Amino acid sequence: MREYWRFDYTGGRYHDAALAGDLLANEDYEPIHVDTGDGGIIRGYSAALGLELHWSGRQLRFYNPITQEYLPDLIEALAALAEAEVRTAEAEARAAAEQTARRAAEQRIRQLEAQLRRRQL
């Protein structure tokens, strides 16, 4: 299955439509149904992706009809990445502090065991 999608951020000034898709069938491309839904969102379904393409407010978004959620756009993905990096750095700092505390406790145990052995002699 081969699909071809066109997106015109101007709303159709450069292409015949803001959002249009074609599907290769029998060596010819046939238009994919695109409609205008709630809130003026122009949408079409990509069987190849299993996602809806939504155009609204000069922005193209990918929508998962199963989870009923938008996939993150670039800005959202970068923000999520930055947040994950902060959480990772915090977790690594906690792990390092715990390792330092564990080593100190192990050292103290060795010292106490050595003192105990000396007293038992």
Q: Tens of pLDDT along 9-68?
A: 887 788 888 899 999 988 899 999 999 988 889 999 999 999 999 998 778 999 999 999
The DSSP letter of residue 33 is P
Does the model's pTM come out above 0.85?
no
Q: Quick one: average pLDDT of 78-93? A: 96
Q: Are 15 and 8 in contact (CB under 8 A)?
A: yes
Q: What is the mean pLDDT of the chain?
A: 91
Between vectors from CA 38 to CA 37 and to CA 42, what angle results, nearest 5°? 35
C-alpha pair distances (Å), 85 with each of 2, 49, 76, 79, 89: 37, 29, 14, 10, 6
Whole-number percent of the chain with pLDDT over 70:
99
Residue 1 has pLDDT above 70, yes or no: no
Whole-number percent of the chain with pLDDT over 90:
69
